[in-house]
Amino acid sequence: MQYISTRGGMPPMPYCETLLEGLAPDGGLAVPEVMPTVDGETLERWRALTYPQLATEVLGLFATDIPRADLARMTAAAYEPFPEEVVPLRSIGEGLTLVGLSEGPTLAFKDMAMQFLGQVVEYALERKGSVLNILGATSGDTGSAAEHALRGKERISVFMLSPKGRMSAFQRAQMFSLDDDNIHNIAVDGVFDDCQNLVKKLAGDLDFKRAQNLGAVNSINLARITAQVVYYFWAWLRATDAGGWTELSFTVPSGNFGNILSGFFAKQMGLPIRRLVLAANENNVLDEFFRTGVYRPRSAAQTLATSSPSMDISKASNLERFIFELVGRDAARLVAVWNDLDTKGSFDFTADLARFVDEFGIVSGTSTHDDRLETIRSVYEQTGEIIDPHTADGVKVAREFSESGVPMLVLETAKPQKFADTIREAIDVELDYSDELREMLDAPQRVTEMADDEQALRSFIEAHALR
């Protein structure tokens, strides 16, 4: 299995080399040269596997340059910190089932991919005899998941940008309380899109990237996307009966289009998915695109601070991988589309609207703060289950797209403890925290505040990067 760039300027690369590269040298994103496929007989064989075993099988289709025994060892290590079931499924009534993705060390779905990424990046670096300086941007959960997966690793340093004052207190504590020498938190005076723009500018400077051994762990990195594909297969296998070919739908709270892109990959691989339902918050640029065909990112000033902050994103990095498929994997046309975005501030696929649903199965909707509060309240009253605000966005939109006879699975985003203020506002409940979590919340925090300044970031990385 080889990987190419969406923009056509990268020679085919194997999995390990691609994941160390991060952003492709031509500024594009890595995608499989040919998408692997899975048939019904294979799915049935996978039904009895544990989560690490299933991860080995699915990831083995992508990471063909890694010996199977090494891959099995890494998946076992990645999911050892999770409860035995790893990803439990829980019914919340109305035909909806939550896919429990928040059982990892940082209580968010990002752990599902990051724990594997920490293993495979270290493996690839040891095999190559090199080091990597991770440069990433987070709107809330990616940063803590990456830092907890990579802390203390000798060959890796992490430089994680976050929007100053835009994350919950819990999210800040999970990141800023870490005191490992290889972890560098940088709070940028701006919004997530400003942080992401800085990452792309530095990653796009190939001389600087090579000199500083820069890489990426957010969903720019293909390993993140492929590791997330696994739980779509897991959830389908747990929600269906043996021997059946049941179509079901997934609703995915989405800001950067990475999580739902993994579902899109799973559907392309042959998993019987009827609909992929994208749930946006008030920063609903993606919802507008899938409803109208017009993609029009907003400025930093127009990006709202909401009560589902991990989705406060107005320019989705991973949409490029979907557009690549939409234009028939034509790299030249993809580049033309992105040039339109740079010059006009938008691009238009209204002529392809029907394909979004008929060919790709993607529909979308928006949820607001009031919607989140009402959804948290109604789920709690009906089931006793407390869901976080991002998951509430998903449940609200899932209800709008539920179809009789088609199971609807909603991907959980995080534990509610990460967003206690919103839970308190919705249902007037004070959440319980373990002694370990309270110690984390009270711990001293270590963070460097920085203006939205490319040169300042360059200087900081030059002074602290591994060589």
Contact 466, 454 (CB under 8 A): no
Give the residue carrying structure tokens 């996307």. 225
Distance CA 63, CA 271 (A): 19
Distance CA 133, CA 136 (A): 10
Distance CA 186, CA 26 (A): 26
- H-type alpha helices, 136-191: 141-150, 169-176
Residue of 110, 164, 315, 415 with catalytic role: 110
Q: Helices (H) and strands (E) in the chain — how many of each?
A: 20, 15
Give the residue carrying structure tokens 């992105």. 338
What is 379-413 written as a DSSP string?
Answer: HHHHHS----HHHHHHHHHHHHH-BTTB-EEEE--
Nearest Cα neighbor of 418 from 390, 385, 447, 380 is: 390
State the amino acid at position 36 in one-letter form: P
Rg (CA), the chain: 21
State the amino acid at position 467 in one-letter form: R
Contact 467, 210 (CB under 8 A): no
279, containing H or E segment: strand 273-280
Active site (annotated) includes residue 110: yes
Distance CA 334, CA 377 (A): 43
Q: Active-site residues: which are they?
A: 110
